[in-house]
Structure 1
């Protein structure tokens, strides 16, 4: 699995530097084919993970083509590539976790969330992400992570923020947790080899680790908020302002895709074989996220508060209303 969050590289980017990468007409280029009656070519920057299954399923079911959208997905390693790609016009839309989008907004990057992407399934012990330890570890619950080393895929982002909240709510001291950055796909080996005491894993890493005997001690997303909006699809403010019709078409198609995936989980699971290398032995055991059609604003406000508490927004508070509504 590739990294699914925006790294610290974004901090050094300026808005001028990002927008200079695109052509002056990048915000409206996708509109031309729609106006002449042809399908509109739309490129979406994604990470090849479980969370984006509804997008691929919706493409297969014709939810986008029926709205005049010729959809193309381009895989990237994470938000550090997708966010500037959307702002520059390389992609019309992108997929990113919500903390990364908040971080981008507070840095002056012109992005706008347009439709939900994925959410916690709310199941403690069986959520789409989890903190795992080796089976013989003395760590029994989140509070025991204090004083331990925990792997996350990106520092100062949604992973360590929600892990700290799990520790806090379980009565531990989150300030005593030491975080190290390790890509998701390397976490099972790092945990099994004793390089870290625990690891916050997404899928399929956590299923692989469980197969090696690891056990779950915390479910940070579900414990932060059982309805936590984890990720959304977004566009640039330029496209949102210049081509609202395209944004509406994408939103409608994506909403139908989310609803279909939610009611057809077996099809959503199977579509993973078309864009990932997940084996059949892992595929059937994967934990799926929830795919609600709407973002949960209350959960995002809590996530923003936790991010402020961690100091990841450099003193500037995210404008949740402007970004996600």
Structure 2
């Protein structure tokens, strides 16, 4: 993923440029001929977004006159400017990235839940892993060690620090290294880092090589942590509230369906990722509740403030629907 700060700097330029466009405004998401609304959503090709792919396949969006197109980005930092410019009507991002954006007064707002922790230690879709032969036995032992996260100063290192803190270690001495999720299993195996925070499918890849989960950092942050959400621009909410409402309805139906049909989730994952069927079968799936957990998001704000992630105060009332 790209660094969030870089992405938001680009976002400022893009939103100004979008304001100067002509009468054809892609942010409205309308076909212009009375037909279904053309809606493009920026997503990340990971397990987390399976519900929206499944919802498209099941017709939950077309039933609400939405012609859905899904485009992949490297992460929230790349998707935020796309949403602001109208390239995407909606986007998917981890909650901390949007908190960083909101603290900088970037005009985005959450519209639907995205993905949540299972709440089960050792049985979550993400965790802190080490090699099978590593002397590290718990998060406490990460003090002074190199730990891989996909993006520095974001939800990864914040949640890892909490795992270390809860285990009785000193989180201030952990050395974080930025490595993409797909590259983490190899980096861990080669000894480039002592531990890594991974999510599926990288978690399954590490386990397949004998790696061990020493802590479930999402679970350590808060029970049933809301990890990521779908969002849009405040401009779209003001200009086309009906479209936003229809998208939210379709998204809620998609989340509920995915949460109760794990076999279909595993099948749809193979349609938008390069994950082989054997790995998909071994994945630990997250939870997809229809509603976000505000208490858990308030905890993320507290840890983000503690770690100095935000340039200003985070106002959850402005960020959340």
Q: Check whether TM > 0.5.
A: yes
1:20 to partner: Cα distance: 2.7
Q: Secondary structure at the match of 1:96?
A: strand
Q: Does 1:223 align with 2:220?
A: yes
Question: Are 2:320 and 1:324 aligned?
Answer: yes
For 1:198-238, what per-residue CA distance to the aligned partner results, in whole angstroms no more than 9, with x for missing partners? 00001111110111111000110011112111111100110
| 1:205 and 2:202 matched | yes
CA contact (8 A) 2:93 2:228 kept: yes
Q: CA contact under 8 A between 1:55 and 1:257: conserved in structure 2?
A: yes
- Which residue is equivalent to 2:29? 30
Q: Paired residue for 2:267?
A: 270
Q: Which of the numbers 285, 291, 302 marks the counterpart of 1:305?
A: 302
The match for 1:282 is 279
Asked if the contact 1:135–1:213 (Cα under 8 Å) also holds between the matched residues in 2, the reply is yes
State the distance in 1 between where 2:241 and 2:278 align. Answer: 43
Q: Secondary structure at the match of 2:282?
A: coil
Aligned to 1:295: 292
C-alpha distance in 1 between matches for 2:287 and 2:307: 26
Q: 1:6 to 1:241 in 2, by over 3 A?
A: farther
2 CA distance for matches of 1:24 and 1:114?
27
Which of the numbers 17, 20, 32 marks the counterpart of 2:16? 20
- Compute the TM-score of the two structures, normalised by the length of structure 1: 0.95
Displacement of 1:28 in angstroms is: 5.2
Q: Where do 5+ consecutive residues of structure 2 fail to align?
A: none
Distance 1:6 1:63, change over 3 A: farther
Contact 1:44 1:72 in 2 (8 A): yes
For residues 14 and 179 of structure 2, the distance between their equivalents in structure 1, rounded to whole angstroms, comes to 27
Whole-Å Cα distance in 1 between the matches of residues 31 and 50 of structure 2? 29
Residues 1:210 and 1:118: Cα distance change in structure 2 (over 3 Å): same
CA distance in 2, matches of 1:294, 1:24: 37
Contact between 1:191 and 1:198, CA under 8 Å: does it hold in 2? yes
Please report how far the alpha carbon of residue 109 of structure 1 lies from its aligned counterpart in structure 2 after TM superposition: 1.3
Residue 98 of structure 1 corresponds to 95
Shift of 1:318: 1.0
Q: Is 1:188 aligned to residue 191 of structure 2?
A: no
2:154 is equivalent to residue 154 of structure 1: no
Q: What root-mean-square deviation, in Å, do the aligned CA atoms of Structure 1 and Structure 2 show?
A: 1.4
